[in-house]
Amino acid sequence: MEGMDVDLDPELMQKFSCLGTTDKDVLISEFQRLLGFQLNPAGCAFFLDMTNWNLQAAIGAYYDFESPNISVPSMSFVKDVTIGEGESIPPDTQFIKTWRIQNSGAEAWPPGVCLKYVGGDQFGHVNMVMVRSLEPQEIADVSVQMCSPSRAGMYQGQWRMCTATGLYYGDVIWVILSVEVGGLLGVTQQLSSFETEFNTQPHRKGLHGPYPFGQS
C-alpha cells in the first residue's frame, strides 16, 4: 500500500486475518492493541468501518492517514515506586500505585495531559488522573488510588499517557498484582501512610482553636 512506511509482521497479520471473527468489539480491541493503544476505541471503529471491518486493511488505512507532521509528546517509564511486579496484597484492600515517569522528549508536554487506564484489570473505579506538564527530561511520580480484587490470583492492567485531544503517547505502563490472603503489602503501605500523615500534620492535636498548629 503506497505511503505505508511501517513494517508489519506478516505472520502476525496472517494470524489476525485468519481469525474470521465478525465480533466488532473483538476487532476493535485487537486493532487498538496492535497499534499500541495509539487510538481510542472510537478511532479504531472509524478505520475498521471504512475498511468493512477488515483488520489488516484498517491498519494500513491508519498508517496511510496518519500525519508524520503531528508532534507527539514523549514519555518513558522509569520505575515502579510502589507495588513492584508480583508483590502481594490481600484481597479487597485499598492501596496507592505509584509510577515514576519521565518526559524523554525535547519539548514540554502540552497542558491537560493525563494518565488513563487502557486495558486489563482496572483495580477500582479510577480510570484517569491528571498529570502536570513536564519539562524536557523532567521526572515525576504519578499515583492512582486502587483496590485489589476480591479473589486471590495474579492480575495485570495497563495505563498510558494521553493528551487533552485524545492522543495516546509514550510507554504503556503496567500494574502487575499478586493478590494473596495474608499478603502484607497493603497493610504496610497503610501504616506508612498513617505515620507520614500523623508526623506531618501536628495541628490535629489541637482541634479547639482556629490556629493551624493547635496553638492557643
pLDDT at 68: 52
Confidence of residue 185 (pLDDT cuts 50, 70, 90): low
Say if CB 15 and CB 39 are below 8 A apart. Answer: no
Confidence of residue 41 (pLDDT cuts 50, 70, 90): confident
153 — phi, psi (to 5°)?
A: 150, 180
Whose CA is closest to 1, among 64, 94, 95, 65?
64
> Does the pLDDT of residue 197 top 60, yes or no?
no
> Does the pLDDT of residue 21 top 60, yes or no?
no
pLDDT above 70 covers what percent of the chain?
A: 70
Average pLDDT over residues 76-87: 84
> Does the pLDDT of residue 129 top 90, yes or no?
yes
Confidence of residue 158 (pLDDT cuts 50, 70, 90): very high
29 — phi, psi (to 5°)?
A: -60, -45
Residue 106 has which C-alpha cell? 525535547
Greater confidence (216 vs 146) lies with: 146
Q: Which of 48-57, 99-108, 190-199 has the highest mean pLDDT?
A: 99-108
Mean per-residue pLDDT of the chain: 77
pLDDT at 37: 73
Rounded Cα–Cα distance for residues 60 and 75 (Å): 26
Confidence of residue 11 (pLDDT cuts 50, 70, 90): low
- Looking at residue 134, the DSSP 8-state letter turns out to be P
CB atoms within 10 A of CB 144: 21
> Does the pLDDT of residue 104 top 90, yes or no?
yes
pLDDT at 210: 41
Greater confidence (209 vs 86) lies with: 86
Q: Strand 128-130 to strand 139-147: parallel, antiparallel, or no bridges (unpaired)?
A: unpaired
Say if CB 66 and CB 163 are below 8 A apart. Answer: no
pLDDT at 44: 85
Amino acid identity at 49: D
Contacts of 134 (CB under 8 A, 6+ apart): 101, 102, 103, 108, 109, 140
User: What are the helix (H) ranges across 66-216?
Assistant: 185-200
